Amino acid sequence: MDAAATTCFRHPSYETYVSCVRCERFICPDCMREAAVGHQCVECVKEGQRSVRQARTVFGGVVARTAVPLVTYVLIGLNVLAYLVELVRPEVVDRFAMLGAGLTAPDGSQYLYENGDFTGFDVIGVVDGEWYRLLTGAFLHLPPTGTSFGALPFGILHIVFNMYALWNLGRVVEDQLGRARYLALYLLSALGGSVLVYLMAPFDGTVGASGAVFGLGAAFYVINRRLGRDMGAVNRFMAGFLVWMLISAGFTSWQGHLGGLLTGGVVTVAYAYAPAKGRTAVQAAACVVLLAVLALLVVLKTSALLE
C-alpha cells in the first residue's frame, strides 16, 4: 500500500516530500529557504535571525547590511526639496528662517529689528512663540534672488557647499553611529546652532544647514579619536573647518557654526564614552538632557527680550 501523501504545514493543499532540516515539518517551494545543508521553513529562519546577535559599532550603532547611507540621502533630499520650493516661492524663507526677533509691518512686509520708531509693527520670530524656526531654518538656504534677509554673495553655492560637506561627512558618521543616533546628532546640532544664534544675535535672520554640518565635523573628530586612528589628517581637516568658520563670519552666521560644532561634540562624546552596560539608555538620556538645556536657554533668552 502506498505511503500517505505529505503536505506543506503552511499550505495543506500542496503535496510535498521536503522537510525543514530544523523542525522536520514538510514545506513547499514557497516556504523553503536555503540553508547550509538542505532547506529551512520561514518560521525557523525567523527564529534563527532573532537568536543571532546583531553586530554593533563601538558607539552602539547597528552595523548596516548595506553600505547605503540612507539618512544622509534623505537629509540631502529634504534640503534640496526645500531649496526648490524657495525658488518657486521665495517668501518661504521669510516665513520659516531662523529669526529670534523681527518685525512685520501692517502690510505684511517683514523687517529685521533696528533702532527706530516701529509703532504699529508686530514682533515675529522665536520670541513670539515661533519655536519651529529653530529647526526649519536649518533646512533652508537663501536663493540667489534673496529675501528681506538679504542674499549671500555666492548664491546657489551656499547649498552646494553644505550638501557636499553633508555628503562627505554624513556617510562616515552614519556608518559608525547607526541611523537613529546619527539623525539625533544631526537635528540636535542644527538646533544647537540656532540656539546660539538666538542667544548672541537674536535680531539676525539666518538659514542654512551649516550648524548641523559643523556638528558632523565635531562628530567626525570624536569618532576618529575614540577609534584610536591616526589624527594627523583629522586635525588638519578640523583646522580647515575652523578657518572656514572664521572666513565665513563676514557673510554667514558664525554663531550657528559654533553652536552646531559644540553641540555635535557634546552629543558624540556622550555616544562614544557611554558605558557598555545600558549604553543606549545613557546615550538617549544625554540627548534628552541636552535638548532640555537648549529649551531652557531659549526660554531664558525670550524672557530677557520681553522685559
pLDDT at 139: 96
Position with higher pLDDT, 294 vs 19: 294
Please determine, for residue 96, whether its predicted confidence score (pLDDT) is greater than 60.
yes
pLDDT band at 163 (very low <50, low <70, confident <90, very high): very high
Mean pLDDT lowest among 155-169, 243-257, 262-276: 243-257
Q: What is the pLDDT of residues 54-85, one digit of tens each?
A: 667 778 777 665 668 899 999 999 999 999 99
Distance CA 167, CA 182 (A): 13
Mean pLDDT lowest among 5-9, 55-59, 62-66, 133-137: 62-66
Q: What is the pLDDT of residues 280-292, one digit of tens each?
A: 999 999 999 999 9
Please determine, for residue 1, whether its predicted confidence score (pLDDT) is greater than 50.
no
Mean pLDDT in residue range 11-24 = 83
Position with higher pLDDT, 165 vs 37: 165
In the chain, the domains with their CATH numbers are 1-52 (no CATH), 70-306 (1.20.1540.10)
HEC letters along the chain: CCCCCCECCCCCCCECCCECCCCCCECCHHHCEECCCCEECHHHHHHHHHHCCCCECCCCCECCCCCCCHHHHHHHHHHHHHHHHHHHCCHHHHHHCEECCEEECCCCCEEECCCCCCCCCEEECHHHCCCCHHHHHHHCCCCCCCECCECCCCCCHHHHHHHHHHHHHHHHHHHHHCHHHHHHHHHHHHHHHHHHHHHHCCCCEECCCHHHHHHHHHHHHHHHHHCCCCCHHHHHHHHHHHHHHHHHHHCCCHHHHHHHHHHHHHHHHHHHHCCCCCHHHHHHHHHHHHHHHHHHHHHHHHHHHHC
Question: CB-based contacts of 288: which residues, under 8 Å, 6+ apart?
Answer: none
Work out the mean pLDDT of the chain and round it to a whole number.
84
